[in-house]
Structure 1
Amino acid sequence: MAEYGAESGVLNYSNSRSDAYEFTGDVRLEGSSATIFIGSTVNHPNIPHTIKPYARKFVAVAMKSVSAFKIKAPPPEKLPHCTKTMDAPAIVFSTGGFSKNYFHSVTDVMLPLFATSQRFKRNVIFLVTNQNSSRITSEHRKTLETLSRYEVVDIDRENRTLCFKNMIVGLKAHPSDLSIDPSPFSSLSTRNLTRLLRTTYSLKRDSVGDHSRPRLLIVSRKKYRKLANELELVELARELGFDPALHDLGDHLESSAKIVNSFDVMVAVHGSALTNMIFLPENAIVIQIIPWALNYYGRVCFGMNPQEMKLKYLEYSITPNESSFLGNYSNDSLLYTNPIKYRDKIGEPAYFMLILTKQNVNLDLARFKDTLLKALDLMAA
């Protein structure tokens, strides 16, 4: 085991999504200056000068609200004095960025934190920066307690110099959303996280059983991307043989988890509520309704990785006739004929504001019926 004053080692886990470094030996964190010192008698040319410990480094606007930690490697005799020596290793991460959004709180923080921390078997201390900008430590409290036996430390309020023999700064993250690449994480996958969550929240169903009428959850949205004919969809689902229910899942994570776990199929318009697929029982079906001009982003966020959770996935891309844009733009508008050119014309911020916050969905139920029938076939397979 490394001793304080010993030479520090460095491992680099960084990729296109996150910067993450592991330091072993004599590692000291000075909270007041947001500086991490690693005792060293040799030059470490590959150590960065700063690290922003948030797993979405490719989005500049997200990283603006993430605190940077300075990394210094002075000789041992020039290290700051230890105020408190910690026996357990530490992981430093940020709850800034986009993490106020539920989807991002999972894909940018909780999932990579799970992947990074599992090897420590709860014997790890979480050092959190930007805690005041996020509700993660309250909303995901139960999961944090499952991952660590220690209280979360708000490093922004820490005036002491904390000393460790092992520290990871940043989170190991897969380049894709809602995904864990097994190769660098000792065969972990997203399925390991969903199993842990079912235990953490005492969810009753590990997998879908036999049902004469599969239970179908339709997620109701009250703000953006509302489903205008959701009540008619409930009736259609019932006619086809489902046992449907309409729920606004709200912000209470534990109650949402229990609701979602009780269903066999979840239908939702693209949005953070789809993140709740992590609570579905295995072999359940996720149906994503993708609003107009969001196909690529819908698939990237939610369509690529349900299989890692042992879920089945269907998607339904709406036509212009099913969008609330209908009648507000001419038929030859670039918004319809070439959405990418339209995005380039008005700029990304205005484009996403329009697509995500100014659009509702009115399903062509005759067309959507085929997707529900496919779901029934998958349930029977």
Structure 2
Amino acid sequence: MKPDWFQRNPDRRMFLKVTTGSAIAAMVHGPSRAFGAPYGLPQATASHRAEVTTAAKVIIDTDPGVDDAFALMLAMRSPELNVMAVTAVAGNLPLEITLPNALRMVEICDRTDIPVAAGASAPLIRQQVTASYAHGENGLGGVTLPPPKITAVKEHAAELICRIVLEHPGEVTLIGLGPLTNLALALRSEPGLAKAIKSIVLMGGSLSGGNVTPAAEFNFYVDPEAASIVFNSGVPITMVGLDVTRKVELTEPYIRQLEAGTNKPSRAAAGIARAIMATYRGHGEKGGPTLHDPLAVSALIRPDILTFESYRVQIETNGLITAGESVGWKRAPIRYAAAFENSPRVTPSEEAFTANTKVAVDVRPDSFFRLLVDRITGNKQDNG
């Protein structure tokens, strides 16, 4: 049975308005009540179930987006991953664009057994910011793909995340590829969720400067409060940020390899890649588009592609010019700003050091692109 407010206000935008208040209040007062009982999920085919019994269980939260589309195709075409659900969030584009794009990717990969859910249509408490300048007005570089034939499940993304994780405690990794609004809503709605999540792997943040402001990477800039909730959740986090994703620019030889493929994912990926490269050239860019999100997915498929170091990461939410900045401490002490003279201090000036995040600090770009292209095209030569 759904909570009374959900039955009265089934629209997802109203859902967000109601749950946002409890999510933000929970930052101070603790987690809110859980969502009601969920709807059923489509079931995987018997052959697919046999293939993925030993694969890592993942839920992908995403805002497609060019690089998100590549990430979804990589994940769904990798036997190492059992994609249990895809959840859409507003980010690169509004939800009315990111949700159909997620559905399109599921169809292109012939994985309609995977449930897709609509999530937050806006950040927790901030005005929406999008990035059509980088992804095109349709999120796919301007490439027109047929409307999806399948539809999203009735559950909100946060409900779906909660249910699947609690049905498989300690087994499910959440992959966050957009603003972390859906993950924050799920964490604050269900008190036991954090302990039941195996880990969170996300594309976001940077320890070396942002790409929207000098301080903040796009996903954390869009919803810094959500990012803060996730990093303070106690769930083990792997952060694949701009420190490494800036090193994986898509180049002409890789586009030609995609164009040589004959399956549906190859054709879709090649068309998107060619279109977004043309956009970059039209803007006077000499380099190629950066494939941030599939690099984060690769961390679960081929961990050797990336080098990680342990940090304590916190997210700045108050700064006028630094909101969304991800700040990493590598060792003690964790020191904060000095108190103002003659003012009582609300927070401690120092804390003991405890690492909460594995941060990607280096990458093997050639190995990454070999994996990505071979998985999308169907070649089986992505070793090394």
Give the TM-score of the pair, scaled to structure 2: 0.33
